A = this chain, B = another copy of it.
Amino acid sequence: MDASRDIVIPKEFEFGSDDDVLVLESGRPFGPITVRYETYGTLDKAASNAVLLLHAFSGDAHAAGYLSGEESRPGWWDSMVGPGKPFDTDRYFVICSNVLGGCRGTTGPGSIDPASGAPYGLSFPVVTIGDMVNVQERLVTRLGIKRLLAVAGGSMGGMQALQWTVSYPARVASAIILATTARPSAQAIAFNAVGRNAIMSDPRWRGGAYYGHEPPARGLAIARMVGHITYLSDASMHAKFGRRLQERDEFGFDFSDQFEVESYLEYKGGTFVDRFDANSYIYLSKAIDYFDLEGKYGSLERAFANAVSKFLVVSYTSDWLYPSYQSKEIVVALMRQEKDVSYTEIDSPFGHDSFLIETERQGRMISSFLQTAQRGEEER
């Protein structure tokens, strides 16, 4: 075991069994809910140094460090979270929880419904980004934190961060909003719809009741392949694969001919099945499609009317899933409402995934933004 490794112990929090039941945005009461979360660093005495990380679609509570000495790769944002890193665990108490509807320790469609003793499947309620945030609010309260120094996330995590500033304005000193949108476009919805269709068309999906049977692995793999294409860019795919063939130099004119990009996607699709539940894919992608601050509040300006957080918004030139113009719409609405907002567009070839890769450039901004936010809190 590598002694230098930070071994993280995941924790669980349960609520909503009885009178503290959560009422979902659909109006349906739902519970109990188990929340898987991890923390890094130490909460200060005033409980004023807490930063809540919000994960993206296929992420989980395991943002940094290693869960065991054997784990080959650290958490999904380890490059950004740790001592001396932008989310500096020597200064901040960093929290990350798995989202409601997920499949990585927090209650989701694969969890056991206590009423039936069987997994929920499609009887799991439709959940929203707002519901995910309301669950996180319960966790943060349980941890004794009245006000977060920051919420931060990319993609679906950025949606949750935006929702925090709208749902709980007084409880969020600052928000770091990366590679996201206030409402996914028709094109983004279309890609999610294809993914859901691929899963639901797999006969092994069985109307969502596949637990205890073979999972709809092919359908989920195809959904993931579609997703992967949207996370990369034309340029990054070209740089990574070009038109190289897998394991041969010339066309063999048979169906064993594969371009490297095909093998890569099939590999990524195939391994995804081992760590992700197909029904969670359906529920979370639906939550993303539903997310629409403009539609819900009448306009983006009205959505942000009561927000009091400082905002850092970052978009990436080659992100075509949630392109820069969508971040700019957020920034313009915030500015019209005279909110405290910084915006940067990072010139990056890595597409939507840039927020997971461009750690140095966004890291400097986040580091200085957090320090300013902390000074602001001290002067309050």
A residues near B (Cβ < 8 Å) are: 24-28, 122, 125-126, 183-187, 189-191, 193-194, 197-198, 201-203, 218-219, 221-222, 225-226, 228-229, 232-234, 237-238, 240-243, 251, 253-255, 257, 259, 261-262, 265-266, 269, 282, 286, 289-290, 292, 295, 320, 323
Residue of B187, B255, B265 touching A234 (CB-CB under 8 A): B187
Task: Out of B28, B198, B229, B242, name the residue touching A191 (CB < 8 Å).
Answer: B229
B126 engages A243 (CB within 8 Å): no
Return chain B residues, CB-CB under 8 Å to A126.
253-255, 257
Q: Is the interface of A mostly helix, strand, loop or mixed?
A: helix
Ordered by A's residue number, 13 sampled pairs between the chains whose C-beta atoms are within 8 Å are A28-B253, A126-B254, A185-B234, A186-B240, A187-B232, A187-B234, A190-B237, A193-B259, A194-B229, A197-B222, A198-B222, A201-B218, A251-B290
Copies of this protein in the assembly total 2
- Quick one: closest B residue to A233, CB to CB? B187
Closest residue on chain B to residue A125 by CB atoms: B253
Known: A186-B243, A255-B126, A259-B186. A225 touches B202 (CB 8 A): no
Task: State whether A237 touches B202 (Cβ < 8 A).
Answer: no
Closest to A282 in B: B255
**Shortest distance between the CB of A322 and any CB in chain B (Å):** 11
Complex Cα distance, B190 from A240, in Å, reads 13
Q: A193-B265, A194-B265 are in contact. Are A187 and B237 (CB under 8 A)?
A: yes
